[in-house]
A and B are shown apart, each in its own frame.
Chain A
Amino acid sequence: MHSSAALAEQFDDLEQQHESSSFGMWVFLATEVMFFGGLFTAYIIYRNFYLSAFEAGSRLLDVKVGAANTAVLLCSSLTMALGVRAAQLGKKKLLITFLVLTLLLGLAFIGIKLGLEWRHDYLEGFAPGVNWTFHGPDSRHLELFFCFYFFLTGIHALHMVIGAGILTVLIIMAGRGRFSPQRYNPVEVSGLYWHFVDIVWIFLYPLLYLIGGRY
């Protein structure tokens, strides 16, 4: 029998406990795929309807900022992966360092997204319903592209904000010494969530910024 404090009584062993929590997160992420999947499908359909307007809309986004933000998010995924590794090895200080780095990079992404890009789009008059100054034959369809743009990046940014909250909790827990090489499930599953949000952006970046063509 295990008498380890790391093991909750409903599990046979640590391995089963670890797998149960990871599986729970994977199932949640599957529902998240459905959640974003509906939006992606709608985007595909409307892009197909109004191809020229969607391509024109895509070219109005700043690809440099999009690429920079992709790099920032990929860095945060690396620090998160290294954080999980530090938790596995029981290195508390290293874990906290990587979690703080991940949080800072995540906040940088949100800052660039909302403070720089959205603000710029708003001032340029590309915010449907709030500040829309574009007039032309394709105006309505272009507006639809920007609706998708704000909705998709907005929902993604919301996930980032939730992720930042989770990281804050993890940092506090790590500081209190709540994790050990036997039990670091919260770090592991939060990592899975963080990487998933990264993957959503990996698809959003080409779909919104690139496939309109930049040539």
Chain B
Amino acid sequence: MVGHVVHKKLYFLVFAGLIGLTALTTGVAFIDLGKWNTLAALAIAVCKASLVVLFFMHLRWSSGLMRMALLAAFVWFAILVALTLSDEFTRQWTPVPSSWEAQVQQQAR
């Protein structure tokens, strides 16, 4: 036999956890927590994804090679988001030189 055979009970436990977290995230959306709503929704989604990856996708019993592939995916996604957002959020930091503004207005006419 190849690969790790997981006990049936564990799969059912993980499944129960996933359903429970789905109920929780749905319930939390009906309570006004301000900015924390978004954070709670994403944190619960990360927990659910971790459960699936660790147990259903067997990462808990997989070799470092598989973990590397997942880590690489994470890191590149983080780069994608971080660099895009850093551009987006810092565009207003430096004022547009007044001479440029005049030029832009001229072109707009």
Interface on A for B, CB 8 Å cutoff?
14-15, 17-19, 22-23, 26-27, 29-30, 33-34, 37-38, 40-41, 44-45, 48, 63, 67, 70-71, 74-75, 77-78, 80-82, 85, 88-89, 181-184, 188, 191-192, 195-196, 198-199, 202-203, 205-207, 209-211, 213-215
Q: A212 — nearest CB in chain B belongs to which residue?
A: B29
Q: A5 to chain B: closest CB distance in Å?
A: 14
Given that A203-B45, A211-B37 are known contacts, is A188 also in contact with B22, CB under 8 Å in the complex? no
Q: A83 to chain B: closest CB distance in Å?
A: 11
The answer to whether B56 touches A77, judged by C-beta atoms less than 8 angstroms apart, is: yes
How many residues in B have their beta carbons less than 8 Å from beta carbons of A? 48
Q: 1/0 per position for B57-70, CB-CB distance to A under 8 A?
A: 10000110110011
Q: Does B96 contact A (CB under 8 A)?
A: no
The answer to whether A215 touches B18, judged by C-beta atoms less than 8 angstroms apart, is: no
Note all chain A residues with C-beta closer than 8 A to B18: 74, 77
Q: Does B100 contact A (CB under 8 A)?
A: no
- List 30 A–B pairs whose Cβ atoms lie within 8 Å, in order of A's numbering: A14-B2, A18-B3, A19-B63, A29-B69, A30-B69, A30-B70, A30-B76, A33-B77, A34-B77, A37-B77, A37-B81, A45-B84, A67-B22, A70-B22, A75-B15, A80-B56, A88-B2, A88-B3, A181-B2, A182-B1, A182-B2, A184-B2, A199-B49, A199-B52, A206-B42, A210-B37, A211-B41, A211-B42, A214-B30, A215-B31
Question: How many CB-defined contacts (below 8 Å) exist between A and B?
Answer: 143
**Would you call the interface of chain A mostly helix, strand, loop, or mixed?**
helix
Note all chain B residues with C-beta closer than 8 A to A81: 6, 11, 55-56
Given that A71-B22, A202-B52, A211-B37 are known contacts, is A45 also in contact with B85, CB under 8 Å in the complex? yes
B:13-38 near A, CB below 8 Å:
15, 18-19, 22, 25-26, 28-32, 37-38
Note all chain B residues with C-beta closer than 8 A to A206: 25, 29, 41-42, 44-45
The answer to whether B41 touches A48, judged by C-beta atoms less than 8 angstroms apart, is: no
The answer to whether A37 touches B80, judged by C-beta atoms less than 8 angstroms apart, is: yes
Note all chain B residues with C-beta closer than 8 A to A192: 57
The answer to whether A71 touches B5, judged by C-beta atoms less than 8 angstroms apart, is: no
Q: A66 to chain B: closest CB distance in Å?
A: 8
Note all chain A residues with C-beta closer than 8 A to B26: 63, 67, 210
The answer to whether A22 touches B30, judged by C-beta atoms less than 8 angstroms apart, is: no
The answer to whether B15 touches A74, judged by C-beta atoms less than 8 angstroms apart, is: yes
Q: B88 — nearest CB in chain A belongs to which residue?
A: A45
| Assembly CA distance A210 to B41 (angstroms) | 7
The answer to whether B62 touches A22, judged by C-beta atoms less than 8 angstroms apart, is: yes
| Assembly CA distance A81 to B29 (angstroms) | 29
| Assembly CA distance A50 to B28 (angstroms) | 23
The answer to whether B85 touches A44, judged by C-beta atoms less than 8 angstroms apart, is: yes
Q: Does B73 contact A (CB under 8 A)?
A: yes
